[in-house]
Amino acid sequence: MLMLNVTAPDILEFIISKMQNPNILRFLINNTEDEEIKRLAKDKLKFTPLSEVERTIFQGIINLKDHPGQGGFTEQAIAEAEKKLADGGIYGVHRPEFLSGANISVCITKEFMDAVENDDDFPLQFPDVESYSKDEMAFYNEKWHEVGDVREWAKMGMKVKTYRYVKARELWDLINVCATYSAEPGIFFVDNANEMTNAKAYGQKVVATNPCGKVA
């Protein structure tokens, strides 16, 4: 399982890179207002134009549509031939094997859900490692994997970089569309989990969960 915080700068790429359904990629391209989501979906979408032989074959199938028995072709086969001719080719995805052996999930924060509710922009952030001194970089290498949350990192006095802002609802819609039609990403409301976990009694906190442990 791979889990990424919703604040991560590459969260959009993380989600779209796992999408295996070309129809959903086309839906995203035609419906999102976020240019980066649109670009990533276009990069993931693969289109193979029909050859002349394929065009002839599909047209031959369609020509039998009104013949008795339809030449033995089913309605579904004829509809598929019509669709491929209308599209002019076959849609697929680039790198279908990418992360094929792993589930992906997203850690959702309260700040993000507030931004969704208020239709606000949401910052995608990460520790500003490019500006760190030698000592700061050593501290990052030692501690970041234990913290893993830019909010806590900033409270510790460490510099955090905002890479871009995204409309929270655009990102939320992306998560929901992909989860609905491809079963990924899973979502984990990390702040809710930390409010309710008994790990606090041991001075610990929840930072992730296994694929079967996604909770609201």
Instruction: Indicate if 71 and 164 belong to the same structural domain.
Output: no
Instruction: Indicate if 117 and 168 belong to the same structural domain.
Output: yes
- 28 is in which domain, residue-wise? 2-45+95-202
**What residue has token string 């072709």?**
73
- Tell me the two tokens of residue 110: 């309260």
- Under 8 Å CB-to-CB from 104, ≥6 apart: which residues? 1, 2, 3, 4, 14, 15, 18, 184, 185, 186
pLDDT in tens, 91-116: 999 988 776 677 888 999 999 999 99
Of 67, 87, 107, the domain-final residue: 87
Q: What is the pLDDT of residue 68?
A: 86
Instruction: Indicate if 165 and 191 belong to the same structural domain.
Output: yes
Domain count, the chain: 2
In a domain, 185, yes or no: yes
Of 35, 63, 87, the domain-final residue: 87
Nearest to 143 by CA among 156, 132, 130: 156
DSSP, res 54: H
Instruction: Indicate if 102 and 183 belong to the same structural domain.
Output: yes
Confidence of residue 18 (pLDDT cuts 50, 70, 90): confident
Q: How far is CA 92 from CA 50, 89, 104, in A?
A: 13, 10, 21
Instruction: Indicate if 66 and 111 belong to the same structural domain.
Output: no
Instruction: Indicate if 56 and 101 belong to the same structural domain.
Output: no
- Under 8 Å CB-to-CB from 210, ≥6 apart: which residues? 1
Return the C-alpha torsion angle 66, 72, 75, 81, nearest 10.
-90
In a domain, 169, yes or no: yes
Q: What is the pLDDT of residue 72?
A: 87
Buried b vs exposed e over 23-56: b needs ≥16 C-beta within 10 Å?
Answer: ebbbebbeebebeebeebbeebbeeeebeeebee
- Tell me the two tokens of residue 84: 């491929």
Instruction: Indicate if 38 and 75 belong to the same structural domain.
Output: no
Residue 168 and residue 116: Cα distance in Å, rounded? Answer: 5
In a domain, 209, yes or no: no
Instruction: Indicate if 161 and 75 belong to the same structural domain.
Output: no
Confidence of residue 216 (pLDDT cuts 50, 70, 90): very low
Q: What is the pLDDT of residue 211?
A: 56
Instruction: Indicate if 118 and 189 belong to the same structural domain.
Output: yes
In a domain, 208, yes or no: no
pLDDT in tens, 39-66: 999 999 999 999 999 999 989 899 888 8
Of 87, 104, 138, the domain-final residue: 87
Instruction: Indicate if 23 and 73 belong to the same structural domain.
Output: no
Instruction: Indicate if 184 and 118 belong to the same structural domain.
Output: yes
In a domain, 9, yes or no: yes
**What's the chain's average pLDDT?**
89
- Report the chain's C-alpha Rg in angstroms: 23
Q: Is the Cβ–Cβ distance between 94 and 44 less than 8 Å? A: yes
Calculate mean pLDDT across residues 125-153.
94
Calculate mean pLDDT across residues 146-158.
92
Nearest to 136 by CA among 104, 101, 109, 160: 160
Instruction: Indicate if 13 and 66 belong to the same structural domain.
Output: no
In a domain, 16, yes or no: yes
Calculate mean pLDDT across residues 70-98.
88
- The H or E element that residue 145 is part of is helix 134-147
In a domain, 142, yes or no: yes
